[in-house]
């Protein structure tokens, strides 16, 4: 055990810190749930890519830096510390990218990864269906093979970024006779294909953070299939693993929230201390964010040495999503009467983005497998309790 960074790691940190200081936009971008904001974020992805900071964990020949997990954590720390924009590209970077590298053909890698890296192609997810939310095996959308085409029909929902994205990756039932996990295939679909209708779904803040997508005899070339026909489930499970596990939620995000919460508390201490539960919650928030960081580094080191991540990725999902909810809930209590004000309200001084964060935090325990599902997984797979 050695809990400090190497010179090389420190130099890496210095490099990204310097680059970010010079390149992070002075004005915060508009949210990527608006068309203008989406475009701004797409441009930011291009800027990142020019600096070779877009996909730091990708191999160098794909425009990455082949960062190991520790370097990735350092990158994330500096990224959040600098207040750099959210990644509109995260479906690509963290989900489809690694899946393509593992399951894609050489041709697919060359075709998709570079354009993903530059932000030219932004990807939407196509997992859920109206009756297959937590239960992905209930997927009903079909892709019927006809020659070298698939003819897709059906409906996807909760597709994040789909309103302005270019491509969608998702699972479709290629064997109409199949049930549950069998007979599903992983297919990549250009969103401008005829027969596709995208209906935005407004989320809590009123903006279309996700969409429903309707497929009406949509023709997709067989070369857009990822992995074997009927093997979609195992390909998708790998992707879901990337999502639930380490890669999506770096500790930096929660540590920055905890830091801002401490600041908010200190700036309002007199009124905050009228409710002793607030001070307690702030202390707990800092400790939990710190625990999350320590545990993530410990897991990252273990994985670097060839360890595997298993059902404990479910503990990860529960821990950060509840921490995030608790921190933002504490901020709401702390802000009192001001908590309800939208950020642009003229008398909202000091409320910052807490309300947006609070609403966003509500999605944490829900998406990528509800926390109830995660608890089942922990009990059954990690603890070995009876089904």
Partner 1 sequence: MDFTFSEDQLLFRDSVRDFLVNEVTPERVRASWEKDDGRDAELWQQLAELGLCGMTVPEDFGGLGMNELDFVLLAQECGYVALPEPLVNTALVAVPVLSRLGGEAASEYLPRIASGELRVAVGCSENGLVEDAAQAGLLLWAEPEAFYVLTAEQFSTRYNPSVDPSRRLYAVELGSDAKPVATGDQAQALYQAVLDRGALGAAAQALGLAQRMIDISVQYSSERQQFGKPIGSFQAVKHHMANVAVRLEYAKAPVHRAAYALAEDAAGASEAVSHAKLVACEAANLAAKNSIQVHGAMGYTWEVDLHIFMKKAWALAGSFGDTGFHKQRIAEHIFADGAALGAGTTFA
Under the rule (CB under 8 A), what is the footprint of a copy of itself?
275-277, 279-280, 283
Under a CB-based contact definition with an 8 Å cutoff, are residues 140 and 172 in contact? Answer: no
155 contacts partner 1 (rule: CB under 8 A): no
Q: How far apart are CA 152 and CA 141, in angstroms?
A: 7
Return the residue of 76, 121, 129, 243 that touches partner 1, per CB under 8 A. 76
Partner whose binding site includes residue 308, from partner 1, a copy of itself, none (CB under 5 to 8 Å by kind): none
Element (H, E) at 123: strand 123-126
Is 229 a known active-site residue? Answer: no
CA–CA separation, 121 vs 190, rounded Å? 10
Q: Between residues 263 and 280, which has the closer beta carbon with respect to a copy of itself?
A: 280
SS3 of 146, please? strand
Catalytic residue among 27, 129, 243, 312: 243
Considering the complex, what minimum distance in angstroms separates the CB of residue 206 from partner 1?
6
Residue 279 vs 338, nearer CB to a copy of itself:
279
Q: Name, in order, each residue with C-beta under 8 angstroms of 370's C-beta and a sequence gap of 6 or more.
A: 134
β-partners of residue 314 are none
| 288 touches partner 1 by CB under 8 A | yes
Among 162, 218, 272, 327, binds partner 1 (CB under 8 A): 272
Whether 150 and 217 have beta carbons less than 8 Å apart is answered as no
* Count of C-beta atoms within a 10 Å radius of residue 66: 12
Q: Does the footprint of partner 1 cover residue 238 (CB under 8 A)?
A: no
Minimum distance of partner 1 from residue 132's CB (angstroms): 8
Cβ proximity to a copy of itself, 189 vs 272, nearer residue: 272
Tell me the closest approach of the beta carbon of residue 187 to partner 1, in angstroms: 22
DSSP code string of 346-363:
TT-TT-TTHHHHHHHHTT
By C-beta, is 246 or 258 nearer to a copy of itself? 258
Output 190 or 357, the one with its CB closest to partner 1.
Answer: 357
Q: Are 258 and 321 in contact (CB under 8 A)?
A: no
Contact 237, 185 (CB under 8 A): no
**In 3-state terms, what secondary structure has residue 41?**
helix
* Closest distance of CB 330 from a copy of itself, Å: 12
**C-alpha to C-alpha distance for 304 and 213, rounded to whole angstroms:** 39
Segment 240 to 269, residues that bind partner 1, using CB under 8 A: 251-253, 255-256, 258-259, 262, 265-266
Q: Which residues are registered as beta bridge partners of 219?
A: 151
Query: What does each C-alpha distance from 368 to 50, 127, 363, 375 come to in angstroms?
Result: 31, 10, 10, 13
CB of 274 to a copy of itself, least distance (A): 11
Question: What does the alpha-carbon distance between residue 67 and residue 77 come to, in Å, rounded to a whole number?
Answer: 14
The DSSP element (H or E) to which 151 belongs, if any, is strand 149-160
Within 308-327, the residues that bind partner 1 by CB under 8 A are 312, 315, 318-319, 325
Q: Compute the least distance from the CB of residue 225 to partner 1, in Å.
A: 27
Q: Which of 222, 241, 275, 309 binds partner 1 (CB under 8 A)?
A: 275
Identify residues 32-51 at the interface with partner 1 (CB under 8 A): none
Q: Work out what residue 353 binds among a copy of itself, partner 1, none; the CB cut-off runs from 5 to 8 Å by kind.
A: none
Q: Which residues contact residue 217 at a Cβ distance below 8 angstroms, ignoring those fewer than 6 apart?
A: 151, 152, 153, 195
Shorter beta-carbon distance to partner 1: residue 26 or 383: 383
67 binds, among partner 1, a copy of itself, none (CB under 5 to 8 A by kind): none
Q: Which residue from 357, 364, 360, 333 is spatially nearest to 257, judged by alpha carbons?
A: 357
Looking at beta carbons only, is 248 or 318 nearer to partner 1?
A: 318
135 binds partner 1 (CB under 8 A): yes
Torsion of CA 331, 335, 337, 341, to 10 degrees: -80
Residues 99-118 that bind partner 1 (CB under 8 A): none
CB 320 within 8 A of CB 254: yes
Position among 292, 324, 327, 328 found at the interface with partner 1 (CB under 8 A): 292
Find the binding residues for partner 1 in span 329-368 (CB under 8 A): 332-333, 335-342, 344-348, 355, 358-359, 362-363, 365-367
Asked if 21 is part of the footprint of partner 1 (rule: CB under 8 A), the reply reads: no
Enumerate the active-site residues.
243
């Amino acid at each position: 055990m050695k809990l400090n960074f190497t010179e090389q790691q420190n130099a890496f940190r210095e490099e990204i810190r310097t680059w970010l200081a010079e390149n992070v936009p002075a004005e915060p971008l508009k949210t990527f749930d608006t068309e203008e904001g989406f475009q701004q974020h797409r441009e930011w992805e291009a800027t990142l890519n020019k600096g070779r900071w877009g996909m730091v964990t990708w191999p160098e020949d794909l425009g990455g830096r082949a960062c190991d997990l520790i370097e990735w954590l350092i990158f994330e720390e500096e990224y959040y510390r600098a207040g750099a924009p959210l990644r509109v590209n995260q479906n690509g970077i963290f989900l489809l990218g690694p899946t393509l590298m593992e399951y894609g053909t050489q041709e697919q890698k060359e075709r998709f990864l570079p354009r993903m890296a530059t932000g030219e192609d932004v990807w939407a997810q196509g997992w859920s269906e109206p009756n297959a939310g937590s239960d992905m095996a209930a997927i009903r959308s079909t892709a019927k093979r006809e020659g070298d085409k698939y003819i897709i029909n059906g409906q996807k929902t909760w597709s994040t970024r789909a309103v302005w994205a270019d491509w969608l990756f998702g699972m479709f039932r290629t064997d109409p006779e199949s049930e549950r996990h069998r007979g599903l295939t992983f297919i990549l679909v250009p969103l401008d294909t005829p027969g596709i209708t995208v209906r935005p779904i407004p989320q809590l803040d009123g903006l279309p953070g996700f969409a429903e997508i309707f497929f009406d005899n949509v023709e997709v070339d067989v070369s857009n299939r990822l992995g074997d026909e009927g093997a979609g489930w195992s390909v998708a499970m790998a992707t879901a693993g990337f999502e639930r596990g380490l890669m999506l939620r770096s500790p930096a995000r929660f540590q920055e929230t905890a830091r801002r919460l401490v600041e908010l508390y200190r700036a309002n201490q007199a009124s905050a201390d009228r409710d002793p539960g607030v001070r307690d919650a702030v202390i707990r928030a800092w400790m939990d964010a710190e625990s999350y960081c320590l545990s993530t580094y410990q897991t990252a080191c273990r994985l670097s040495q060839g360890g595997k991540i298993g059902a404990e990725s479910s503990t990860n999902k529960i821990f950060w999503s509840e921490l995030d909810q608790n921190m933002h809930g504490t901020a709401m209590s702390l802000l009192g009467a001001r908590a309800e004000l939208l950020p642009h309200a003229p008398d909202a001084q000091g409320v910052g983005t807490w309300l947006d964060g609070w609403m966003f935090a509500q999605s944490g325990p829900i998406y990528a497998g509800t926390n109830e599902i995660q608890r089942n997984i922990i009990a059954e797979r990690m603890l070995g309790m009876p089904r």
